[in-house]
């Protein structure tokens, strides 16, 4: 198949790697140095590259929120991802909560603070911006004072917009991703993302510092039931969901609760999940895009994968800017995905790889057990050197694994 990949991060590098390994011809809209050996990079609008393509795979949420899939539909090109309307599950947290309420999906209690309202809070609510915020729109409070301050900050930085207040839940988190064709879905190996910046889940929330998959949990069936209710509910409301539906769940003592939906592959979950596939992903993406998944189970390796994000020391605020040395060699047990990298000429005109982003690389180790997958990922990470490179050392090592 001729496939256009939209997006330029480590998630898209992981998608492109598995598609390229199955012999597909790839075209890229973004410049990621990791793409050059996998296909043709042409930084133009996806609609331009899509002419004559069999499929467009949309990685990030921005183009989905912007209606790219709707525009491609009018051009007659199948695109993997939801329409703009269905993308509201991620793009409006308030839409998502009200949808959960309509369909009796277990989630934290919530209230919506309308613009201009200044309620006096009665408990340490979790404060959330309604719209897309690149992982920076959630304040998890421990005290009423913190929640009140977070609400004031949310209102001050986003005047005229409603703010969501949610009951704080407790428990381990689980990311469950499913490929959906509007009516049916197929579940990918459940993953655990590590969203906080520092070891032991300390520090600010980030886009994700690493992930492990699969995660064994008795709560998986409940999570999958919620995904199925969601797909059925979206179809019943006239906005069928096609694409990757990513449920972020909290496994509370009272059972699984939906924290949020993303309407795309997760980053870094994708870098842990896709290396576990034992068959071509393309027919599944095309089937989801065209309304008919080709089966009910994706074939998987009998293995675990641990994905460690190598970030700039200043991430999530800052970016790295330094040459990268010691990029580990890929093997059956080690994958190297580029996220925030770029090519630069040195003073002698030699092209060098530079770190240029917040999340620079994801190193994924594979193994027959989670411990071996971790060790391989960290052996790979230890080879990487650039100024102020930093990573968590406890990915996949919590009390949960």
Residues binding ligand AMP (CB under 6 A)? 108, 126, 138, 140, 166, 168-169, 173, 195, 205, 248, 259-260
Nearer to ligand AMP, 44 or 170 (CB): 170
Determine the Cα–Cα distance for residues 129 and 174; give it in Å rounded to an integer: 22
Among 7, 33, 46, 208, binds ligand GLY (CB under 6 A): 208
d(CA 15, CA 274): 7
Q: How far is the CB of 201 from ligand AMP (least distance, A)?
A: 8
Of 207 and 240, the one with the shorter C-beta distance to ligand GLY is: 207
How far is 87 from 62, CA to CA, in rounded Å?
A: 10
Q: Does 362 bind ligand GLY (CB under 6 A)?
A: no
Candidates 137-145, 265-273, 333-341, 355-363; binding stretch for ligand GLY (CB under 6 A) = 265-273
Q: What is the DSSP string of 176-232?
A: EEEEEESS-EEEPPPBEE--EEEGGGEEEE-S-SEEEE----TTHHHHHHHHHHHHH
Q: Is 193 one of the binding residues for ligand GLY (CB under 6 A)? A: yes
Q: Which helix (H) or strand (E) holds 268?
A: none
Note whether 266 binds ligand GLY by CB under 6 A: yes
List strands edge to edge, sheet with 138-139.
110-113, 163-166, 126-129, 138-139
CB of 308 to ligand AMP, least distance (A): 18
The answer to whether 305 and 333 are in contact (CB under 8 A) is: no
Q: What does 226 interact with, of ligand GLY, ligand AMP, none (CB < 5 to 8 A by kind)?
A: none
259, interface contact from ligand GLY, ligand AMP, none, CB < 5-8 Å by kind: ligand AMP
Q: Are 30 and 39 in contact (CB under 8 A)?
A: no
As a whole number of angstroms, the distance between CA 76 and CA 52 comes to: 10
- Binding-site partner at residue 269 among ligand GLY, ligand AMP, none, CB < 5 to 8 Å by type: ligand GLY
Axis-axis angle for helices 93-102, 220-236 (nearest 10): 90
Return the residue of 213, 269, 374, 377 that touches ligand GLY, per CB under 6 A: 269
- Closest contact distance (angstroms) between CB of 18 and ligand GLY is 18
According to DSSP, the β-strands at 2-6 and 55-58 are parallel
For residues 400 and 11, what is the distance between their CA atoms, to the nearest angstrom? Answer: 24
Q: For ligand GLY, how many residues bind (rule: CB under 6 A)?
A: 7
Cis link prior to 387 (omega < 30° from 0)?
no
Beta carbon of residue 138, minimum distance to ligand GLY (angstroms, whole number): 11
Q: Rounded to the nearest whole angstrom, what is the least distance from the CB of residue 96 to ligand AMP in the complex?
A: 9
Residues that bind ligand GLY (CB under 6 A): 193, 207-208, 262, 266-267, 269
């Amino acid at each position: 198949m001729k496939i256009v990949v939209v997006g330029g991060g480590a998630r898209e590098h992981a998608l492109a790697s598995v598609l390229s390994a199955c012999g597909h011809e790839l075209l890229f809209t973004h410049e990621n140095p990791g793409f050059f050996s996998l296909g043709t990079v042409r930084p133009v609008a996806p609609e331009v590259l899509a002419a004559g393509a069999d499929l467009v795979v949309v990685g990030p949420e921005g183009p989905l929120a912007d209606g790219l899939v709707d525009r491609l539909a009018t051009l007659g090109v199948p695109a993997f991802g939801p329409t703009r309307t269905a993308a509201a599950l991620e793009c409006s947290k308030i839409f998502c909560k009200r949808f959960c309420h309509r369909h009796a999906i277990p989630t934290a209690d919530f209230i919506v603070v309308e613009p201009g309202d200044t309620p006096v809070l009665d408990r340490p609510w979790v404060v959330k911006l309604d719209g897309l915020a690149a992982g920076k729109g959630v304040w998890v409070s421990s005290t009423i004072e913190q929640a009140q301050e977070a609400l004031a900050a949310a209102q001050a930085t986003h005047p005229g917009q409603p703010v969501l207040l949610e009951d704080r839940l407790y428990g381990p988190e689980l990311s469950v991703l499913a490929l959906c064709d509007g009516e049916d879905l197929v579940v990918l190996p459940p993953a655990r993302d590590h969203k906080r910046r520092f070891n032991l889940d300390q520090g600010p929330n980030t886009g994700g510092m690493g992930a492990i998959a699969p995660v064994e949990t008795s709560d998986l069936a409940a999570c999958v039931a919620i995904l199925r209710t969601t797909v059925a509910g979206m179809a019943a409301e006239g906005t069928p969901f096609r694409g990757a539906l990513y449920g972020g769940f909290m496994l509370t003592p009272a059972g699984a609760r939906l924290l949020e939906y993303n309407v795309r592959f997760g980053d870094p979950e994708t870098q842990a999940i896709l290396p576990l596939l034992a068959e071509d992903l393309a027919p599944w993406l095309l089937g989801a895009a065209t309304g008919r998944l080709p089966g009910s189970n994706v074939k998987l390796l009998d293995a675990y994968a641990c994905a460690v994000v190598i970030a700039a020391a200043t991430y999530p605020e800052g970016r790295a800017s330094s040459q990268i040395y010691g990029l580990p060699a890929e093997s059956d047990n080690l994958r190297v995905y580029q996220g925030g990298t770029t090519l630069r000429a040195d003073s002698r005109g030699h092209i060098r790889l530079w770190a240029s982003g917040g999340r620079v690389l994801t190193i994924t180790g594979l193994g027959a057990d989670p411990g071996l997958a971790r060790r391989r990922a960290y052996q790979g990470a230890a080879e990487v050197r650039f100024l102020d490179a930093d990573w968590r050392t406890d990915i996949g090592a919590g009390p949960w694994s």
